[in-house]
Structure 1
Amino acid sequence: MMSKIPILILTGPTAVGKTDLSVKLAEILNAEIISADATQIYKKMDIGSAKITHREMKGVPHHLIDILNPDDEFSVSEYGDLAKKCIEDIHNRGKFPIITGGTGLYLNSILYKMNFGNSNSDERLRLELNELLNNKGIDYMHNLLKSYSEEVANKIHKNNTKRVIRAIEIFKLGGELGDFSKDLELNEKYDAKIVVLNRNRKLLYDRINYRVDLMFENGLIEEVKSLVDEGFSKDLVSMKAIGYKEIIDYLNGITTLEESKSIIKQNSRRYAKRQITWFKRYKDAFWIDLDNTKNIDEQIDIIMNLLKER
């Protein structure tokens, strides 16, 4: 029997503080980092995605960043295939794989055997539905499901977002309701340690607001305008990311500058809240409240001790 590949998944809500910690851990562990961020995967989308810079990487190899053009089609299953190849390659070279990012579907594609059935399945549609969930919330999505079938909506609790989205997907593709009772099956190839970073909600929201202000100072409007000028449509999955769609509305005269900034902050805070809800599904995850640690060295010590418990 083949031994499992040890991996560390370092995740948490947007702006919590994953980047610096992941790089410092990678330096200590002789590791390479695989990004699990659905926006940083695109070229030319740097400021709005808070993409790590080459300077911040400190020589640590990073994978699955800047590999797509904004108009490239890409699915969660394709991400999973690429991430698994990266994990094997890093492991075979005697290094340690660290997966860092906050896109829950991407993390699931590594942690679980993603089998949504061969029929009536559309990864691109699922991505769009998850984006709709991030923007509109679960009440909106559950009501959308009710519009297709009140009977089905009554059978699926609104907090079970995966099944709500899967049901909507099936109806949108013209299918019938399948069996939503089966949980995702764990991918046995990996010995995964999941660490979720978190902070006091108010402090996290303050960090998010500050980050958005920095994005504007660093040229977010110019970045989005450049993408639009190159012909990248607002209808692209990439351009519907938080920080981009709001600026497109500003450029089109739909909102003012201050309104767009306020909406980005609001949408980012809502996204962080939903990320936290998502990560709570990982029953074996170890949570670290960064506000209760003295410094990054203490955070590293906690994670290093956790990794020794194999």
Structure 2
Amino acid sequence: MDNLPVVAVVGPTGTGKSELALNLAHEIGGEVINADAMQFYRGMDIGTAKLGEREREGVPHHLLDILEIHEEASVSHFQAQSRACMDEVRSRGHYPILVGGSGLYVRAALDILEFPGTDPSIRRELEADMEETGLETMRSRLESVDPESAASLGDARRVIRALEVHALTGRTFTSFMPQREYVQPAVQIGLRAEPAELGPKLSERVYRMERQGLLEEVRRLEPLGLRWGKTASRALGYAQFLRVLDDDMRIEDAVDETAVATRKLARKQRTWFRGDNRIQWLSWQEPGLAELAATIVREYTAGER
């Protein structure tokens, strides 16, 4: 059924997106596609709240455990992978159900979003120029070809990236910014939770992860490259518990710091997704949540036919 829309389940961390995606897959006949960047990594299970094989209840899950711990996640690579997965799922007559709180990855899968690529030689030349002439000179150089980016980009790394994009493509950096336009039919269902409701659950979730063996998981992943992985090392909980391994932080402090960081992440995700008026919001504690979500999807699908 080529006309089936992509269903995206989005919202702040801890709102039950994975559970809703699973239940929704049972309701409408779907397969789950992961869009949480940290769940790409093999072995990062406890700290990412990844559903185990048994917890998936026989529903196919895609793009989990696809990277080694030392590898860097790529939004452009994910875009190609996720869209290929969507086509494969539809070819089986199932709904592709995209789930995750990594907003840029969700946008890359759903929306018209181009990636201009990179060129190491151009990047090295620009970095050398930056070191020799300084940020303001490079910003002036950017202003001559891309005044909008020059006015909005403040740090050296982004100025260099904007100049690299112009050198590669002849286009401005801002011309590659994502548009809120689906590349294929899609339904986005957001799980809404206010901070006062969600905060205590997020704290308890971190304490539960510690009890489940997060420190042992970090200890096992450290020699595999966790400390040096550009993406994995930044994961909440993992960064803090690496400090526990180094005797630089007590377990209790690592738990508290992770809980605070998790609440901040939830606020950031809430702000990101609230900016997209295409999302249909449901309360994370709504009775019959999966049935309500299934009704939204079925009504949309019927209207597309």
Question: TM-score with structure 1 length normalisation?
Answer: 0.79
The whole-number CA distance in structure 1 between the counterparts of 2:79 and 2:58 is 25
How far 1:253 sits from its partner (Å)? 2.0
The number of aligned residues is 275
Structure 1, gaps ≥5 residues long: 122-144, 157-162
**Equivalent position of 1:131 in the other structure:** none
Structure 2, gaps ≥5 residues long: 121-134, 167-171
**Equivalent position of 1:58 in the other structure:** 57
Question: TM-score with structure 2 length normalisation?
Answer: 0.80
The whole-number CA distance in structure 1 between the counterparts of 2:225 and 2:71 is 13
Q: 1:281 to 1:168 in 2, by over 3 A?
A: farther
Corresponding residue SS for 1:259: helix
**Equivalent position of 1:83 in the other structure:** 82
Corresponding residue SS for 1:180: helix
How far 1:225 sits from its partner (Å)? 0.6
Q: 1:164 to 1:62 in 2, by over 3 A?
A: farther
**Equivalent position of 1:135 in the other structure:** none
Amino acid at match of 1:21: L
Deviation string 1:209-267 (CA, Å, 9 cap, x unpaired) is 01100000000000001111344434532122111011111211222221111110011
Aligned pair partner of 2:160 in 171, 175, 183? 171
The whole-number CA distance in structure 1 between the counterparts of 2:79 and 2:43 is 22
Q: 1:286 to 1:222 in 2, by over 3 A?
A: same
- After the TM superposition, which of the residue ranges 5-14 and 80-89 deviates more from structure 2? 5-14
The whole-number CA distance in structure 2 between the counterparts of 1:203 and 1:53 is 26
**Equivalent position of 1:26 in the other structure:** 25
The whole-number CA distance in structure 2 between the counterparts of 1:288 and 1:164 is 37
Q: Where do 1:131-280 residues align within 5 Å?
A: 155-156=151-152, 168-171=157-160, 175=164, 178-180=172-174, 184-185=178-179, 188-280=182-274
Amino acid at match of 2:63: L
RMSD of Structure 2 on Structure 1 (CA)? 3.0
**Equivalent position of 1:137 in the other structure:** none
The whole-number CA distance in structure 2 between the counterparts of 1:226 and 1:269 is 26
The whole-number CA distance in structure 1 between the counterparts of 2:220 and 2:51 is 20
Judging by fraction of residues, say which structure has more helix: 2
In the alignment, structure 1 residue 112 sits paired with structure 2 residue 138: no
**Equivalent position of 1:302 in the other structure:** 292
In the alignment, structure 1 residue 45 sits paired with structure 2 residue 44: yes
Sequence identity (%): 29
- Contact preservation (8 Å) 2:11, 2:192: yes
How far 1:118 sits from its partner (Å)? 3.9
